[in-house]
Amino acid sequence: MPHYTPPLRDMHFVLHELLKVTETLKTLPPHAEVDVETLNAVLEEGGKFASEVIAPLNQSGDAEGCALNRDTHEVTAPSGFKAAYATFVEGGWPSLGCDTAYGGQGLPVSLNQCLYEMLNSANQAWTMYPGLTHGAYECLHAHGTPEQRQTYLPRLTSGEWTGTMCLTEAHCGTDLGLLRTRALPGGDPSADGSFLITGNKIFISAGEHDLAANIVHLVLARLPDAPEGSKGISLFVVPKFLVNADGSLGARNAIVCSALEHKMGIHGNATCQMSLDGARGWLVGQPHKGLNAMFVMMNAARLGVGTQSLGLTEVAYQNAAAYAKERLQMRSLSGPKAPELAADPIIVHPDVRRMLLTARAYAEGGRALAVYTALLIDQELSSTDAAVKEDAADLVALLTPIVKAFLTDNAWISTSHCLQVFGGHGYIREWGMEQFVRDARINMIYEGTNTIQSLDLLGRKVLLDRGKKLKKLIVLIQQFIEKEGADTAMLEFINPLADLGEKASKLSTELGLKAFTNPDEVGAASVDYLRVIGHLVFAYFWARMARVAIDHRADDDPFYRAKLATARFYFAFLLPETAALIRSARGGARSLMSMDASLF
């Protein structure tokens, strides 16, 4: 059975030494009183819940899966999930980052980010139930009417109710402009303003379960007068049970689970086909502007999926590293390292170390990026300085597709490496590694495939505003380079960072000029381009982390020695990938698009 130890020391490093989050939080009125002790205390207790309550349910939940009663359309989650969720609610964890006006604790997003990383390491399938709920909360908080906010937010905040987003239909995946679900006026508008919604949705995570008393679905549908395409989509809140005027639960609404998907991974989460047959729902936001409102939840989900993969990368690394220090196999090429044993532990072999360090570098780099992005969201939401809010919003928009796609790609690489460290045992269920690989694979697909994220980054976030958002990131990197470039101890990190920054800027300009004459050039280059920019961001954070580690050389602390060694590995072994990526990004659309489709 795999183990999980919350990486509190590294979280403290990122929060307090690398990013110095409390200095930023002091400038934000809602969080000005949050101190280091508060952050650390919350993380310690959150880590206990993750490692002691839900981690032991991960393998059993995967083996058992969810069960659908076809007569009642009710879904039962794996054994132990419901009790664990009750403990989660009793501990006040759902309300951590929620508005105090609705019963939340009002703590920063950057703290909530660390909590959810630990939850995802412990049990991704379980964590999807409260994770999606927080996204529904964010959407209604931003776009709901006062009545909707008062009806739903207190119960979503407390965790008494959970939430979902119902977007996808069988004939349309990411292309939501093709959706067919319809919403008709439910009668006299002066009555309750509801609509009757009919259609079928698929791939709805946590769409039906027995963890909470009610499920609040956010459903995309078309009104009778809707224009074609994505500009004709509206958003509706559709509760599983209708809510009476006094807040109590009323009749069962006409939205049910018609089937459970049989999946490669995340078996403990109910991925549902949902059928709506005149289900009563209420418009959220403006008619035909549903995608604008839903993007709040979709962007939150994209960041959340990156966190899922960060969690899997960390837990896979922990288990592989522990195994490599114990498993005896062959002798070191440079001579026995444990002559008293029959063979050396496999940790002595260079390629085993390459695989372990790859996972470690991607986990620790991903943690820095994820917490930094969450801190930007804190600034975007709570700063009183208009310029700070604007800069933070631009950087969040730029980094969101990178968090989603780069971290999930890296998790697929890392979990596969960590399985490989176990050799044949990694392929066997009892060790838990094959589950991490299976669970990691979905993260590259849902909430917008990684290709969609790449198109979003290059096409919308970089080229559409002529590089305005990217330049803000480049300025931060250049400022760091100018500050540290004179220190010879930093040159091994500064020089490759500066070189990649120049090449990434040049590549962006080249692709923009090519796309001006042929839009297919964006599609041809975007996936490679995102990995280039992802590595640029990681190189920036690894150089910053190396700076902190170098400053602590006199401490002779093994933590800083390991941090510096991992930074050197990243720059020596992982960053060089960008040379090939830049070359292939320049390959162009012609070789991809010239062959006739009939020849495939």
3-state class of 402 per DSSP?
A: helix
More confident call, 42 vs 554: 42
Specify the pLDDT at position 176.
Answer: 83
Kindly state the average pLDDT of the residues 356-373.
98
The token pair at 316 is 């896979």
Q: Does 297 have pLDDT greater than 90?
A: no
Taking only the tens place, the pLDDT of each residue in 400-441 is 999 999 999 999 999 999 999 999 999 999 999 999 999 999
Kindly state the average pLDDT of the residues 376-390.
97
Q: Does 298 have pLDDT greater than 90?
A: no
Specify the pLDDT at position 1.
Answer: 85
Instruction: Name the pLDDT band for 473 (thresholds 50, 70, 90).
Output: very high
Taking only the tens place, the pLDDT of each residue in 324-333 is 999 999 999 9
Percent of the chain's residues with pLDDT above 70? 99
SS (H, E, C) 296-351: HHHHHHHHHHHHHHHHHHHHHHHHHHHHHHHCECCCCCCCCCCCCCCCCEHHHCHH
C-alpha dihedral over 580, 583, 586, 592, to 10 degrees? -60
90 DSSP assignment: H
Instruction: Name the pLDDT band for 188 (thresholds 50, 70, 90).
Output: low
Number of C-beta neighbours around residue 25 at 10 A? 24
Taking only the tens place, the pLDDT of each residue in 517-568 is 999 999 999 999 999 999 999 999 999 999 999 999 889 899 999 999 999 9
Specify the pLDDT at position 292.
Answer: 85
Q: What phi, psi does 98 have (nearest 5°)?
A: -95, 160
Instruction: Name the pLDDT band for 230 (thresholds 50, 70, 90).
Output: confident
- The beta strand positions in 206-308, using DSSP E, are 214-221, 234-239, 241-243, 249-252, 255-260, 271-284
Single out the residue of 145, 395, 87 nearest to residue 284, CA to CA.
145
Specify the pLDDT at position 324.
Answer: 98
The token pair at 400 is 């969101």
Cβ atoms of 132 and 163 closer than 8 Å: yes
User: Catalytic positions, please?
Assistant: 447
Mean pLDDT for the chain? 96
3-state class of 281 per DSSP?
A: strand
Single out the residue of 358, 324, 322 nearest to residue 344, CA to CA.
324
Q: Which helix (H) or strand (E) holds 184?
A: strand 182-185
Name the least confident of 230-244, 284-298, 557-571.
284-298
Cβ atoms of 479 and 415 closer than 8 Å: no
Name the least confident of 11-25, 37-51, 296-310.
296-310
The token pair at 402 is 């990178």
Specify the pLDDT at position 55.
Answer: 98
Determine the Cα–Cα distance for residues 269 and 278; give it in Å rounded to an integer: 26
Q: Does 190 have pLDDT greater than 80?
A: no
Single pTM value for the model: 0.97
Determine the Cα–Cα distance for residues 328 and 39; give it in Å rounded to an integer: 40
Kindly state the average pLDDT of the residues 468-487.
97
User: Can you say whether the dihedral through the CA atoms of 242, 97, 303, 283 is positive or negative?
Assistant: positive
Specify the pLDDT at position 187.
Answer: 66
3-state class of 96 per DSSP?
A: coil
The token pair at 2 is 């795999």
Taking only the tens place, the pLDDT of each residue in 70-120 is 999 999 999 999 999 999 999 999 999 999 999 999 999 999 999 999 999
Determine the Cα–Cα distance for residues 579 and 429; give it in Å rounded to an integer: 37
Ramachandran region, residue 324 (left: φ > 0; alpha: ψ -120 to 50; beta: rest): alpha
